[in-house]
């Protein structure tokens, strides 16, 4: 599984949403690849100067994700991993990368070598408190009531890989409509998706234990992975 930390496309939360995640995955017998993608400004990001969202002309973070998946598939035999069971998990901005790489079949950069002839779409995906997925996030006060329009850079289809989403309703950084917009869009095209919403948890809860129910999400994720067949059934 490839891990994409968050950080608002400004920095990388390399421990909270990176190495700690790999520790959990490795303890479950899952090979973990922690992706150090390029920042800043390599995906949608908030510009404090104008208090507005900027969209880069070149999606370098998505390019890095596609390249990483292609390289992993190319080297799967030497690394002892199944090239047909490559998953991605992303947090916050990393959740946006997960949505992007799950729904972008064509490479977003010029071919480099044979690794780019292999699919860069993961076999399954997990998005934790994802950001940048609701189209009207820049102006929520003027959005129609109940609006859950998906961001225009994400194009879902029935071929979107099985997806697991976790979000807290009291997330004040990205807001619950980020996850809801993606979930509703996936349901509309009959793509396999499972979502868990919790009343409390805020943003950037990662895997660090708390006394709130949301802290049990890794157990749900593990059962989900067993259910879709990427981990052996117990």
Measure the CA dihedral 129/230/106/99, to 10°.
-10
pLDDT at position 76 is: 97
> Three-state secondary structure along 83-123?
CCCCEEEEECHHHHHHHHHHCCCCCCCCCCCHHHHCCCCCC
CA–CA gap between residue 78 and residue 104 (Å, rounded): 26
Beta strand segments in the chain, E? 2-4, 33-34, 45-47, 52-54, 87-91, 124-128, 163-168, 193-198
Considering only CA atoms, which of 100, 200, 190, 193 is closest in space to residue 150?
100
In order along its 234 residues, the chain shows pLDDT tens digits of 999 999 999 999 999 999 999 999 999 999 999 999 999 999 998 888 887 788 999 999 999 999 999 999 999 999 999 999 999 999 999 999 999 999 999 999 999 999 999 999 999 999 999 999 999 987 887 888 899 999 999 999 999 999 999 999 999 999 999 999 999 999 999 999 999 999 999 999 999 999 999 999 999 999 999 999 999 988
Q: Are 195 and 232 in contact (CB under 8 A)?
A: no
H or E element that contains 223: helix 217-227
Q: Are 1 and 30 in contact (CB under 8 A)?
A: yes
Q: What structural domains does the chain harbor?
A: 2-226 (3.40.50.1820)
CA–CA gap between residue 30 and residue 27 (Å, rounded): 7
pLDDT at position 53 is: 82
Considering only CA atoms, which of 49, 51, 74, 53 is closest in space to residue 9?
53
Contacts (Cβ under 8 Å, ≥6 apart) of 149: 134, 135, 136, 181
Considering only CA atoms, which of 68, 142, 138, 53 is closest in space to residue 100?
68
* Residue recorded with tokens 């990205």: 174
pTM strictly above 0.85: yes
Q: How many CB atoms lie within 10 A of CB 72?
A: 22
Instruction: Locate 107 and state its tokens.
Output: 């490479």
Cα–Cα–Cα angle for 125, 129, 132, rounded to 5 degrees: 90
Contacts (Cβ under 8 Å, ≥6 apart) of 172: 202, 203
pLDDT at position 109 is: 98
Q: How many CB atoms lie within 10 A of CB 113?
A: 9
Q: Which residues pair with 102 in a beta bridge?
A: none
């Amino acid at each position: 599984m490839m891990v994409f930390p968050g950080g608002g496309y400004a920095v990388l939360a390399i421990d909270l949403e990176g190495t700690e995640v790999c520790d959990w995955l490795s303890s479950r017998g899952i090979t973990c690849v922690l992706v150090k993608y390029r920042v800043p400004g390599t995906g949608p990001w908030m510009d404090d100067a104008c208090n507005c969202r900027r969209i880069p002309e070149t999606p370098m973070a998505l390019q890095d994700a596609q390249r990483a998946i292609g390289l992993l598939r190319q080297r799967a035999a030497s690394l002892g991993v199944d090239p047909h069971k490559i998953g991605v998990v992303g947090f916050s901005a990393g959740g946006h990368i997960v949505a992007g790489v799950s729904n972008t079949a064509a490479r977003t950069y010029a071919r480099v070598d044979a690794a780019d002839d292999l699919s860069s779409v993961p076999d399954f995906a997990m998005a934790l408190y994802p950001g940048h997925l609701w189209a009207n996030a820049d102006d929520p006060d003027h959005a129609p009531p109940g609006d859950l329009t998906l961001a225009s850079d994400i194009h879902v289809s029935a071929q979107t890989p099985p997806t697991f989403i976790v979000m807290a309703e009291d997330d004040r950084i990205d807001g619950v409509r980020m996850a809801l917009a993606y979930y509703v869009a996936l349901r509309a095209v009959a793509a396999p998706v499972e979502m868990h919403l919790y009343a409390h948890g805020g943003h950037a809860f990662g895997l660090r234990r708390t006394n709130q129910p949301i802290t049990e999400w890794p157990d749900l994720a593990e059962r989900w992975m067993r259910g879709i067949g990427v981990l052996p059934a117990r």
